[in-house]
Structure 1
Amino acid sequence: MQKLNGAGLRRISLPPVLPTSHPYVVYFIRNGNRIKIGTTKSLAGRLNQFGLGRNQVALVLEGDYALEGALHAQFSEHRVDDTEWFRLAPPLLAFSRQCNARPAVAMLGGPEHEALWEDLEQIAARTGRSLAELQTWRKDPTWPKSEGNAGGRRRLYHRHQVDIWLARGRTR
């Protein structure tokens, strides 16, 4: 069996608010000195099930049970008993680092979810606000959190969160 090295795999970035349902993804969740490699259609539900937070998600890849099985086979020597948990071993860490170094191809939730994300120029065009005004507002600690895309070169904001913020009458 050929080892996966991260090339050709599609990394998915996490939005500030995880959707409750999305297409299948393969996730790497870190908990102490272990990593769980699993498949889900609800990463938010899975994190809740384990009592873990989004900051413990080490990697999310586009894929399903076939990719999960290939990864389980590749890292089988690091498997903890007969579970989906693996010891935090150098090959696993190297794989995760290599995948995370690649730009994300999509936001969790698929194309229908990505349509909810905008950059500042799109927000300005949609709301009639000036770009300079929005850039000033962005320094306000209550401004919606952004998600980096394409290696962090572009900041994206969730449309619903921005609309709530603007509806609160923020003017400067």
Structure 2
Amino acid sequence: MMHIRVVLTSLALTALCFPTWAFALDKPKGEVILTVSAPHLDHPNIAETAQFDLPMLEALASHTGEMETPWTEGKVKFSGPLLRSILEAAGAHGTKLKIIALNDYSAEVPVEDAEKLDTILATRMNGDTMSVRDKGPLFLIYPFDKDASLFNEKYFSRSVWQIKTIEVSE
């Protein structure tokens, strides 16, 4: 009996010390709309990348914000997973993100923006999934509604739409 307690205690401590051993990113069941790559991912699910379909993204910790943007008319409600939740799910580590759109437009975004701001990859606008025509399937949205100092060209240039890939680097 004592031996079983020791084994169970050891297993519990191992799980606490090494949580990445207990986490596996499922493979997408639907159309892949986002691929995350990095020199090393803790949780790849296809080859050396982390690929996500819409249900996988919408299952992550998310945020909703209602705001005006330079690209929309009036107040618009955006919702989607927090960028930091996506990076955590992939097990991506680094200091820079290269956000790449379907048309190969890209912007460099510091990882700090994901860690310190409630940046989201919007999957929905006013409750509806975002089509490619409406800047979807994913649109990097800064919390312009929470912090007016973000409403400037620096953050506008990082707000990529029609996102397909995030490359993480040191």
TM-score grouping bracket, smaller chain normalisation:
under 0.3
Structure that is richer in helix per residue: 1
Q: Which has the higher strand share?
A: 2
